[in-house]
Amino acid sequence: MTSPVSRPYPLGATWRDGVLDVAVYSETAEAVEVCLFGTGDAPEEERRVRLTERTGHVFHGLVDGAGPGTRYGLRVHGPWDPEKGLRHNAHKLLLDPYARAVEGMWDWSEDVFGHLHEQPQTLNEADSAAASPRGVVVDDDFDWGDDAPPRTPMAETVVYEVHVKGFTQQHPDVPEEIRGTYAGLAHPAAIAHLVDLGVTAVELLPVHQFAQDSHLLEKGLRNYWGYNSIGFMAPHNEYSSAGDGGAQVTEFKALVKALHAAGLEVILDVVYNHTAEGNHLGPTISLKGIDNASYYRLVEEQPESYFDTTGTGNSLNVGHPAALQLIMDSLRYWVTEMHVDGFRFDLATTLTRQDGDAEVHSAFLSLVHQDPVLARAKLIAEPWDVAGYQVGGFPARWSEWNGKFRDDVRDFWRGADGALGALAQRLTGSPDVYEGAGRSALCSVNFVTAHDGFTLADLTMYDEKHNDANGEGGEDGESDNRSDNNGTEGPTADREIDAQRDRQRRNIMATLLLSAGVPMVLGGDEIARSQGGNNNAYCQDDEISWFDWAEADRELQAFTAELVTLRRENAVLRPRWYDDEGPGTRSVRMLRADGADMEPADWQDAGAKSLGVQLSPGEGAEEGASFLLLLNAADGPVDFSVPDAPAGRWRLAISSDPEQEVGKEVKDLFLRDRSFTLLRSA
């Protein structure tokens, strides 16, 4: 029998053929030790094994007496010289960046810092093992059965952005012991809500292993959103009902399998732009102690400092092969081993800044473009970072969060002057952003609300943010919510105000789901989930953020599901191209209230706040119904002269005005203030 041989790839701790093979990349290390920890009565008992082989810049070797379930960490020996960007400190137990499961969390004592707090240039010789989590060796075996990705075409995709914990933490039909976990989200009651709503993909807020922020813990708060990643291969351990000894991996796979069985895709919100190690004053818990300069972008003239375009203290060095390999290995792992269907890249513009400026032909984008594993994955960019705004600047392969859609739709429905022209662009898939570059409407991921900002209910209830619970004196979060609530904030018993809010929620939801592009619904908006006016609930792991199922607006939920059904069943509401000829196209007419086509001068009328949009199948497109969308954001009613239908007669399909009669034949329409109506012609 041939003796096992250590290999320099894959990196990390790989259980293969009955042996554990460990590989660690570092250009500047002198030696690397794998630290194995006991269990049971002696969990802190540490055994160190030096990796004796080296291939290029990879230290590797076989480790005896270890296998699935083994807890481990790394100690990396090398120079400590912060002024040159070198931060090795073998006194620190480091998390393997390729660990596939993580047990425990950091306690944020001074022990986990490579330097002394009062002397940042001085090596801290305190051992950090007792204050640090462990990686867990994982066996990749899992019974996927007949699992198959739904492969929903982008034109048919409706994204639902949701938090793993918040969705089920208070769900009455999910067993208490699994609420707020991967298993809770996989429960039939949770999946039934998603299926009944009609969405096709769940976009999970970060589930990569992340660290809790010390400054939040000191205030009695927690990192709820999870944008503080430290383990790009590991599912976050706090979302596991089975504990954090490795079973979280199996539980996450079971979640994906259950969602796929229901026809739902899984998109991960991934944070590859930075890690939880912060700047030069941050802790040394992983990459910083392994190979600081390879994994992080340092200031060229001052390598003790970090180049930061994320606002978090550091940015990954996407101009270096090691950092790029880590990102690409992670992406491929989640597709091949975890069966996820796509990714939403947080602050994606940072990933294109290999030399400082955002580049459409950056190494990262080029690697993703040519990778055969990622060819079948959905790719969605958040096309900005703290240093720049890049909406429309990503390659054709990518879709993007369209911030212009959010801003322009909010402006229109709050009755802003001069908002009509921008609204027309957003309704038709933002051709002003994408068409000139040969891209389609499917590059635009449309949203009006997201995790970062007001919920839909709060957008219609609050003029100002109410973030006092965050402990930052109300200074955090955006100031302008681009709404108009007439100075009346919060819940009210005033029927007229409540009715207007109900209409506005339906107006915004309809604009989102009836526009060309890919709609993204913020989880909970369909049931009028409120955060009490907190528009930056990143640190609120409590009732402020969790879904309040007891107060769910079931009428709004049914209304949203009806809109999703209309979109799914009518191709003219989800065109694949801007043209009016060929498969997947439609013809569009923009109409004034008098039924005439909009003229150039009409778009210049700052006081115009009503619009009709007629949508019909394009020449050569599949046959189907035509629609007439009537929108009125004015404070008063509008009489619409309805043009003749392309075929048959116009009948009322859906409206935010409860006095409108669904199914009624329509020739002319009295459209009340702040409302929409959709007509259909078979």
Residues in Cβ contact with 173 at an 8 Å cutoff, skipping those fewer than 6 apart? 187, 189
Per-residue pLDDT at 55: 98
Pairing assessment for the beta strands 12-16 and 19-25 based on DSSP bridges: antiparallel
Structure tokens at 578: 């801007």
Task: Return the structure tokens found at 269.
Answer: 């919100």
* Cα–Cα distance list, 378 to 188, 283, 400, 450 (Å): 25, 34, 11, 19
Question: In whole angstroms, what is the distance from residue 627 CA to residue 680 CA?
Answer: 5
Give the whole-angstrom CA distance, residue 146 versus residue 257: 9
Q: Which of 341, 382, 400, 408 is catalytic?
A: 382
Alpha helices by DSSP H, listed for 515-657, are 554-569, 600-603
Q: What pLDDT score does 581 carry?
A: 80
d(CA 71, CA 73): 7
Res 486: pLDDT: 59
Distance of CA 268 to the CA centre of its chain: 6
Residues pairing with 209 in the sheet = 231
| Identity of residue 605 | D
Distance CA 551, CA 569 (A): 30
Helix (H, G, I), strand (E, B) or coil at 649: coil
CA distance 177 to 356: 48
110, 219 Cβ separation under 8 angstroms: no
At CA 333, angle to CA 331 and CA 334, rounded to 5? 70
Q: Which of 346, 400, 525, 553 is catalytic?
A: 346
SS3 521: strand
Helix (H, G, I), strand (E, B) or coil at 459: helix
Answer whether 96's CB lies under 8 Å from 74's CB: yes
Query: What amino acid is encoded at 4 in this protein?
Result: P
Active site residue 382: yes
Considering the entire predicted model, what is its pTM? 0.97
Q: Using alpha carbons only, give the angle 20, 24, 30 rounded to the nearest 5 degrees.
A: 120
pLDDT tens-digit profile of 415-474? Answer: 999 999 999 999 999 999 999 999 999 999 999 999 999 999 999 999 999 999 999 988
Helix axes 420-427 and 495-514, enclosed angle (nearest 10): 50
List the 46-50 sheet strands across, edge first: 46-50, 31-37, 71-77, 134-136, 102-103
Q: What is the DSSP string of 276-327?
A: TT-STTS--SSHHHHHHHHHBPEETTEEEEE--SSSSS--B-TTSHHHHHHH
Distance (Å, whole) CA 581 – CA 616 = 11
User: Tell me, what's the pLDDT at 483?
Assistant: 63
DSSP-derived secondary structure for 623-642: P--EEEEEEE-SSS-EEEEP
Domains, the chain, in order of start with CATH, read 12-136 (2.60.40.10), 154-273+322-462+482-529+545-572 (3.20.20.80), 578-681 (2.60.40.1180)
Give the count of beta carbons closer than 10 Å to the beta carbon of residue 664: 11
Within 10 angstroms of residue 560's Cβ, the number of other Cβ atoms is 25
Burial (CB count within 10 angstroms: exposed 0-12, middle 13-18, buried 19+), residue 325 = middle
418-425: long-range contacts, CB 8 A cutoff, minimum separation 24: 418/606, 419/609, 419/633, 420/603, 420/605, 420/608, 420/609, 420/611, 421/603, 423/611, 423/631, 424/590, 424/603, 424/611, 424/613
> Is 291 considered catalytic here?
no
What are the phi and psi torsion angles at 53 (to 5°)? -105, 155
Q: How many CA atoms lie within 13 A of 155 on its CB side?
A: 14
How does DSSP classify residue 577? Answer: -
Let me know if 83 is exposed, middle or buried by CB neighbors in 10 A (0-12, 13-18, 19+). Answer: exposed
Below-50 pLDDT ranges, the chain: none
